[in-house]
Amino acid sequence: DAGVIQSPRHEVTEMGQEVTLRCKPISGHDYLFWYRQTMMRGLELLIYFNNNVPIDDSGMPEDRFSAKMPNASFSTLKIQPSEPRDSAVYFCASSSGQGLTTEAFFGQGTRLTVV
Amino acid sequence: AQRVTQPEKLLSVFKGAPVELKCNYSYSGSPELFWYVQYSRQRLQLLLRHISRESIKGFTADLNKGETSFHLKKPFAQEEDSAMYYCALSMGRGSTLGRLYFGRGTQLTVWP
């Protein structure tokens, strides 16, 4: 397995534009997480899914943010409209509810810059 | 509430010196604890987990339930250990228990 795959790796967009971040979790994992990383706030959990169902979206900052998981192998995080304060690295992670531990595997992240 | 505290935002040591990155947690059940490491501009990687009781890259961490701590230690730091280290807690398996709670992270710098 190639691990958690995120795209794009880098995104530069203008304020007001829609941004869509994509994630492919590890096959067989039933949890998917979206995190945001900034210098000021560290790693923040935005939302997570279990078996494609959103379980906790309390970390989603505003209605401008939305996330979907239409199937077990794909998830999107959308920001519409984007603002400069959304600039951050967005990580997707997946984990399995089975096995001995609940280790999360992270993607490479998407570095978003909103100008 | 579940909470992970890493009291040191920055930690600097010289090469060859011992290093300890502190992590305390609050959770009334039986947690799973992890240390993740993030080298410059790379993805977070699992460094070690308490359940495995392993030593990775010379690092060890012992879960102390009495003190609710999971400090990361290495007797002789190396320059390549410079990175951001995150302590994380999981409440275990189950549909509402799968998420990780991360501390704010400690940036370790090892000087030559």
- Which whole number is the average pLDDT over B3-13? 94
Contact A100 B51 (CB under 8 A): yes
pLDDT (0 to 100) of residue B53: 76
pLDDT (0 to 100) of residue B95: 47
Q: What percent of chain B has pLDDT over 70?
A: 92
User: How far apart are the CA of A47 and the nearest CA of chain B, in angstroms?
Assistant: 10
Contact A22, A11 (CB under 8 A): no
The encoded tokens of residue B70 equal 């999971």
Contact B71, B20 (CB under 8 A): yes
Give the model's confidence band at B56: pLDDT under 50 very low, under 70 low, under 90 confident, else very high. Answer: confident
Give contacts of A 34-53 with B, CB under 8 A. Answer: 35, 42-43, 45, 48, 50-51
Q: What is the DSSP string of A1-65?
A: ----EEE-SEEEE-TT--EEEEEEPPTT--EEEEEEEETTTEEEEEEEEETTEEEE-TT--STTE
Please tell me which residue of chain A has the smallest CA distance to B102: A43
| Identity of the residue in B32, B95, B96 whose CB atom sits nearest the CB atom of A101 | B32
pLDDT tens digits in sequence order for chain A, 115 residues long = 679 999 999 999 999 999 999 999 999 998 899 999 988 888 889 999 999 999 889 899 889 999 999 999 999 999 999 999 999 999 999 988 666 566 789 999 999 999 9
Contact A106 B43 (CB under 8 A): yes
What's the rounded Cα separation, in Å, for the pair B105 and B36? 9
pLDDT (0 to 100) of residue B42: 85
pLDDT (0 to 100) of residue B39: 93
Q: Lowest mean pLDDT of A90-104, B25-39, B52-66, B92-106, name the range.
A: B92-106
Q: Lowest mean pLDDT of A34-38, A72-76, B47-51, B85-89, name the range.
A: B47-51
